[in-house]
Amino acid sequence: MTDGSARSAASPADVDASARALGARIRELRKRRGMTLTQAASEAGLSHSFLSQVERGLERLSMVSLFRVANALGTTQQDLLTEDPPERPEASYHVYRKSSESPVDAGSGRVAVLAEQRARFLPMLFTGSYGDDMWWEHDEEEFVYVLEGELIVVFPDSEVALREGDATYYEGGIRHRWRTPEGVTCRVLVVKEQHHS
C-alpha cells in the first residue's frame, strides 16, 4: 500500500512547521480514537511507515490521502488542516502570512491553506494540473474561483469549463471531480464551509 502521490524525502532541516502541526493533529486524534498506527494506516490505504513519517512532519499527504486519513479517523479534511483556536475575543481576526511550504499536496501541485484556525469557512489555494480519477462528495458547501488557467468541474450529469475569472458554487452532497486540459496548470481559490467534529 502506498500513498500514490509524488513525494520527495525530507531531511530534518527541511521539515515544515505546518506539516509537523498536521502530523501532530493526526497522531493526537488517532490515539484519542484508540487506534494503532498500523490500524489507521490500513484503514486509510497507506503504509504504516508512510503514515509514521506524516505524523512526524517528514512527509506530505496528497489531498486524496488526507481524505482517506480523515475518514479512517472519523473526521474531515478541514478538521485536520486547521487548529483549535485559542479563546478569542469578539470581533477577532486572523492574518495569513504566505509561506513556502504546505502540509498537503494537490497531486501535481501545492495546496496553501489560508486559515490556520478553525472558522466558519476554510479558504485554500490550489496550484497544479488535475486528472478526474476520483469523485468527491462531502457535506460541506464549496465555492471555486479560477485565478489562472482552466479547470473543468465534472458533475454526474454534466461538466463545466471554468477559465480565469469564472467561478462555481455547489451545495453539500453534490458529487464532483476536477480535471485540467492536457498540459494546463491552473491556480484555483476554493472556499469550503467547515463542519467541525
In a domain, 183, yes or no: yes
- The x, y and z cell numbers of residue 19, run together, are 506539516
Helix axes 17-32, 48-55, angle to 10 degrees: 120
pLDDT of amino acid 22: 86
Strands (E), the chain: 61-62, 104-105, 110-113, 121-128, 142-148, 150-155, 158-163, 167-170, 177-179, 186-193
HSE-CB for 83 with a 13 A CA cutoff: 17
Q: Is the pLDDT of residue 20 over 80?
A: yes
Tell me the CA distances in angstroms from 18 to 114, 115, 156, one per residue in order: 12, 12, 35
Residue 124 and residue 77 in one domain: no
- CATH number of the domain to which 146 belongs: 2.60.120.10
- CATH number of the domain to which 22 belongs: 1.10.260.40
Q: Is the pLDDT of residue 16 over 80?
A: no
In a domain, 37, yes or no: yes
Residue numbers of the domain that contains 16: 12-81
The domain boundary residue, chosen from 34, 51, 81: 81
Q: Where is 26: in which H helix or E strand? A: helix 17-32
**Residue pLDDT, tens place only, 142-176:** 999 999 999 999 999 999 999 999 999 999 889 99
In a domain, 93, yes or no: no
Report the domain count for the chain. 2
Residue 63 and residue 127 in one domain: no
pLDDT band at 36 (very low <50, low <70, confident <90, very high): very high
Distance CA 61, CA 120 (A): 24
